[in-house]
Structure 1
């Protein structure tokens, strides 16, 4: 199984869900399209890791709601004990900063300003989400709490760097 499959099992270990809802939930930590998720869920079902029930809906087409099986739970536990691969960072701005001496400095400054604004917006959104989750019953899992703070630290780090980079470019002007 690939990492996406284990990610789907991770979400299903908390509650059954449709393929569409799984796609929305996993986006925060692993980009995936429905064209990846649906065939993978089908394969995982064939392999015995998940099963589904068909839920009849009156206003929409029927949907499959997947749940993790004991075999899937065992596979998830085994995966959790294996060291994670090195993280992959893919950030277009990183490449643009590397090549910035080949272009217009004002363009790079503008892109850094956009990154600062993006980070501030994301921090605001995440802080609201953390606040909502802090009063939610039942309380979010330890993993969810750790990940929300990881997201906050990561965004704050990106914001600090972008603000610092802008200052460096201002000093050079």
Structure 2
């Protein structure tokens, strides 16, 4: 039996959505987390959908089929962690999906990885998740997703605290 894992594919800059679309077309399960941001120009504001992780797309496939992603234009390489292709746990993909669908979240951005303390969260939307907490305030908290080597900053709307 060949186990299916989530891997992180590194793409050309600004190619995340195109790569995810093409991977789906050739039958590779993938996930490109998208967030909506309001961009301000001098004459207008506009809602735009952008990838949560710049140049990253998650793919779920057996280890022996990993090279199949290189059929798609825009795929650069796999993300490596400690000398091996980074494997993202199903629980982390689920946590990203659930938290992006949470309507109480008003702003999400990714910050560079910094070391913090390892904890197991006991309450809230990250209940039972292993994480490294970088910061907790009245308006936001920052959690490290270790397998990606980055921080997830979640900011709450003031009226939901």
- After TM superposition, the score normalised by the length of structure 2 is 0.25
Structure (1 or 2) with the greater strand fraction: 2
- After TM superposition, the score normalised by the length of structure 1 is 0.24
Greater Cα radius of gyration, structure 1 or 2 = 1
Structure (1 or 2) with the greater helix fraction: 1
